[in-house]
Structure 1
Amino acid sequence: MSSQSKTAEELKGHAEDAVDTVSNMAKDAAGTAKAKVAAKSEAAKDGLASEMHDTAAALRRAADEVRDGSPQGSTFSMLANGLADMADSVQGQNVSDIASVASNFARKNPVAFLGGAALLGFAVSRFAKASEAPQHGGHSASGTAMQSPRGSAHSTAYNPNIPTMETDNG
């Protein structure tokens, strides 16, 4: 065997070793990335389930605050129970199963899926609005009375989005 063919064989062997090393490093990096994505997905799933439980608790509080037997109270209770059940099922499944179930439900029941999403959005916005800190006595944070556009003090804060009743006296 000539020295050139021997050198070529050595180079070929080193190249194959380098390819194997790079391939193994790429597999390790992909495995690490996959594990990190899975961990973040699980954390997000657990956070979602926690938020769903919190929303269900808020719905139950709202149901308790409205008149007994009212349609709103019944609706809030029903939503709270359904949301709590859904949160429990989310916690018990892996992320890919959840995505598959949601996708299948949306595909089979598009009206129910969209209606549920709209109802959930409505309920969340109502609770967000209800949980805002009320302003007491028409005073701003500095302790001064809020003034209406006409200059008289009100017992509630002026809201420019609420139309005022204007009378034409002349």
Structure 2
Amino acid sequence: MTPDGRTPSPQGSQSEVADELRQDAGHLKDSLGARAKQEAESRKGQAAQVAGSASSALDTAARDLRDNPEAPEWMASALQQAARRIESLASHVDGRNVDELGDEVAEFARRNPGTFLAASAAAGFAAARVLRAGVDKKRHERSGDQYGSGNGNDLRSAQNWPADENIRPTEAGGYAPAYGGGSTGGDFGGTAR
């Protein structure tokens, strides 16, 4: 019963629940948006620092090349120019907030859709390579492989060699084709089985 003495209708309580859910969803959306912006601002600062470090390293390399009489001048000049452009990009990114950067990216995508798609594909490819390298490194660390340990866990051990490779290690310490029985002539550095 409601405070005024009426019995609530099922439709009334359903609409109240729906309104409450909409409000909760709106609050959640706002909260997640604020958290994402905060995280992006933090990452933006880190990216600007990394870019500044890269610029400094390129500048140092350019100076070292200029000090080396055998190094070509064009290489030092190219490194110096790259250092300046990276520094400019770092200060540009650091001087803008996340919303402004997002607007700039969206505007660039509208003006140059082909370039934007190509850059996005290249960035995706690079990110996939970096992530894959991290996964491979963790897998290697977990397996406890040690190079040349002699305990059967080193990478030349036949039981640890991937079956889909084109070469395989031999017991004599060399390599042989993985797709055939091999022969003494086909072995690289040892006797084939």
TM-score when normalising by structure 2 = 0.47
Deviation per residue, 1:73-128 (Å, 9 max, x gap): 11111111111011111112224135336546764868xx97xx9xxx9xxxxxxx
SS of alignment partner, residue 9 of structure 2: helix
Structure 1 pair 61–106 and aligned structure 2 pair: CA distance change class (3 A)? farther
Consecutive unaligned residues of structure 2, counting only runs of 5 or more, are 1-5, 127-193
Q: Distance in 2 between matches of 1:104 and 1:79?
A: 27
Q: 1:99 aligns with which of 81, 95, 105?
A: 105
Q: Distance in 1 between matches of 2:56 and 2:49?
A: 11
Q: Which residue does the alignment assign to 1:146?
A: none
1:11 to partner: Cα distance: 2.7
Structure 1 pair 90–105 and aligned structure 2 pair: CA distance change class (3 A)? farther
CA RMSD of aligned residues (A): 3.0
Q: Which residue does the alignment assign to 1:49?
A: 48
Runs of 4+ off more than 3 Å: 101-110
Q: 1:85 aligns with which of 80, 84, 88?
A: 88
Q: Distance in 1 between matches of 2:56 and 2:84?
A: 9
Consecutive unaligned residues of structure 1, counting only runs of 5 or more, are 1-5, 122-170
Percent same amino acid among aligned pairs?
19
TM-score when normalising by structure 1 = 0.53
Give the letter for the 2:102 counterpart: S
SS of alignment partner, residue 20 of structure 1: helix
RCO higher in 1 or 2 (8 Å CA, sep ≥ 6)?
A: 1
Deviation per residue, 1:43-95 (Å, 9 max, x gap): 22222111111100001110111125821111111111111011111112224
Report the count of equivalent residues: 108
